[in-house]
Structure 1
Amino acid sequence: MSVTIVIPARYASTRYPGKPLVELRGASGAAFSLIQRSWMAAKAVSGVDRVLVATDDERIADHATGFGAEVAMTSTACRNGTERCAEVLGQLAPEPEIVVNLQGDAPLTPAWFVEDLIAGLRNAPQAGVATPVLRCSGRMRADLIADRMAGRVGGTTAVFGHDRQALYFSKEVIPFAAGEFGDDDPSPVFHHVGVYAYRPAALRAYSGWDEGQLEKLEGLEQLRFLERGQRVLCVEVQARGRQFWELNNPEDVPRLERMMADMGID
């Protein structure tokens, strides 16, 4: 089953303009841009046939070509990464059986997150889209709550049913859970990892739907599937001792750099 990873990247981010070109320093002090680190993470995933950076911005395209990435140019009309992946799908020949959207702000995504996601979609032939979720430790849950209390939009959380089908995604910390959790204790909160695997039919359907009300309110593209009554499979992944965070705000740069230093990632 052929797999293509698409890394959507846009320059005109509302919260963080130019984010894909921001440099992150690793444990040794080596600096690579956010988009290059995301591309490096994608290239580390096994069983993938092709990796592309998808953008509508020449600055990002030139930079990505410079470090060796294949680039697909898309229109400025794309409102989110899923729409950009859908547009790229029309440029791919032969058409892959699975398209993975590895968003360009998650350079710490371990390869096994994506490998487990692909396996999860392959093992659920009825599913058109799947996404990974990671159980939060008490420390990660506390970090998410601290971001919200400070008025920052941090990570996204997910709730799902016994069949692993998503019930909702939110930038609020859900579900509510009374009490405290130790730093290393598991909590009932699941961090939504910003990666998606789609079958081509699901991507084509998505691009034909208007934005949903909840999608607009939360700023979460995956809610369009739920608002249209489409199932989203949540695939639980394991941290295996790795720290994970996404770059959403300028304040996240030192946080990610500390994590890379702690984990010895160059």
Structure 2
Amino acid sequence: GREVTEAEEEAYFFKLSPFADRIEKLLLETDYLQPRTRAVELVNNFIKPGLEDLCISRTTFKWGIPVTFDDKHVIYVWVDALSNYISALGYLNDKYDDFDRFWPADLHMVAKDIMRFHAIIWPAMLMALDLPLPKHLAVHGWITFNGQKMSKSLGNVVDPFVLGERYGADAIRYHIMREMALGADSSFSNEIMINRINSDLANGLGNLVSRTVAMVQKYFGGTLPTERESGEFDDDLIKTATSLRAKVDDFMDKTQL
């Protein structure tokens, strides 16, 4: 509610422009970022207009990581936050020794509101350090609850452990894959969850299994006849089943769930 006033402050900047071409190629010419629409959005909104340098220090407060060569400055957010991904593994410190074991990450998954920092600034930092980038970056949408973004400040966060106890882990996994497409916002409520479980799993899959078992019991005494030989239909079914794992692995590698 206070009046906005202009202010000046001495600060250090991270020069991003030298990395613009490399990051643009990373986003547009590789499968680094999924979904593809987000990569195009980032390039058009931030790289094409000219990549602006990033303010990385402040002098108006003392809380934070001191700049080693200038004690008047402390590191400003995002540089310290992003570097946690490698410093927590042991990069340039002797407290942990997991960096070589776990870096680079196979998949980095973030929400759409922080994708610029993870798809542009973080790769530029790693390029400047001559360190490998995460192998893939997946950007997901927001999960809304009763039409609002879930957040701790709003107090509308749904505890996944409570959901697991109520519905079971497999039902939650199915609901996420069925209702929450990567990159798009999705809505959650207990009513949506229950309706999906009832319609797809109980009524759809449950009825299919029930009818199949009933027919096996009615016509074959609950067992497969020993004299039956496999036919063309069986071969097609076996081929489909054996090839399914490779397809699933490929879709998971591409975060196309």
Greater relative contact order (Cα 8 A, min sep 6): structure 1 or 2? 1
TM-score range, shorter chain: under 0.3
TM-score by length of 2: 0.22
**Which has the greater radius of gyration?**
2
TM-score by length of 1: 0.21
Higher strand share: 1
